[in-house]
Amino acid sequence: MTSKKPESISDTKKRARRIDKELAKLYPDAQCALHHKNALELLVATILSAQCTDERVNKVTPAVFARFPDAQAYATAEIAELERLIQSTGFFRNKAKNIQACCRMLVERHGGEVPRTMEELVPLPGVGRKTANVILGNAFNVPGIPVDTHVGRLSRRMALTEHDDPVKVEHDLMALIPKADWTDFGHRMIFHGRQVCHSRKPKCDECALKGMCPKIGVG
pLDDT, residue 218, reads 87
pLDDT bracket for residue 1 (50, 70, 90) = very low
**Count of domains forming the chain:** 2
Residues 159 and 190 both lie in one domain? yes
User: What's the pLDDT tens digit per position in 130-153?
Assistant: 999 999 999 999 999 999 999 999
Render pLDDT for 156-213 as a digit per residue (tens, 0 to 9).
999 999 999 999 999 999 999 999 999 999 999 999 999 999 999 999 999 999 999 9
Query: CB-hemisphere CA count at 13 Å for 60?
Result: 24
Model confidence over 67-91: pLDDT tens digits? 999 999 999 999 999 999 999 999 9
Q: Which of 90, 109, 139 is the last residue of a domain?
A: 139
Checking if the pLDDT of 2 tops 50, the result is: no
Same domain as 75, residue 15: no
Average pLDDT over residues 52-58: 96
**pLDDT tier at 5 (50, 70, 90 boundaries)?**
confident
Active site residue 130: yes
- Indicate whether 217 belongs to any domain: no
Do the domain assignments include residue 182?
A: yes
Half-sphere exposure of 88 (CA within 13 A, CB side): 12
The predicted-structure confidence for 184-199, as pLDDT tens digits, reads as follows: 999 999 999 999 999 9
Annotated catalytic residue, options 20, 130, 172, 184: 130
**Per annotation, catalytic residue among 148, 168, 181, 215:** 148
Residue 219 in any domain: the answer is no
Q: How far apart, in Å, are the Cα atoms of 80 and each of 54, 87, 100, 106? A: 23, 10, 11, 21
Give the separation between CA 104 and CA 97, rounded to whole angstroms: 11
How many residues are listed for the chain in this entry? Answer: 219
Q: Which residues form the domain of 118?
A: 39-139
Q: Give the whole-angstrom CA distance, residue 218 versus residue 140.
A: 37
Would residue 168 show up in a list of annotated catalytic residues for this protein?
Answer: no
Q: How far apart are CA 129 and CA 147, in angstroms?
A: 9
Do 58 and 18 have their domain in common?
Answer: no
Segment 49-61 shows an average pLDDT of: 96
What does the alpha-carbon distance between residue 58 and residue 49 come to, in Å, rounded to a whole number? Answer: 9
List, as one string, the DSSP characters of the chain. ----SPPPHHHHHHHHHHHHHHHHHH-TT----S--SSHHHHHHHHHHTTTS-HHHHHHHHHHHHHH--SHHHHHTS-HHHHHHHHGGGSSHHHHHHHHHHHHHHHHHHHTTSPPSSHHHHTTSTT--HHHHHHHHHHHS--------HHHHHHHHHTTS----SHHHHHHHHHHHS-GGGHHHHHHHHHHHHHHTS-SSS--GGG-TTTTT---TT--
> What is the CATH classification number for the domain harbouring 69?
1.10.340.30
Write down the pTM of the prediction.
0.91
- CATH code of 149's domain: 1.10.1670.10
Of 105, 139, 173, the residue at which a domain comes to its end is 139
pLDDT at 4 over 70: no
CA-based nearest residue to 95, from 122, 68, 125? 125
pLDDT for 219 beyond 90: no
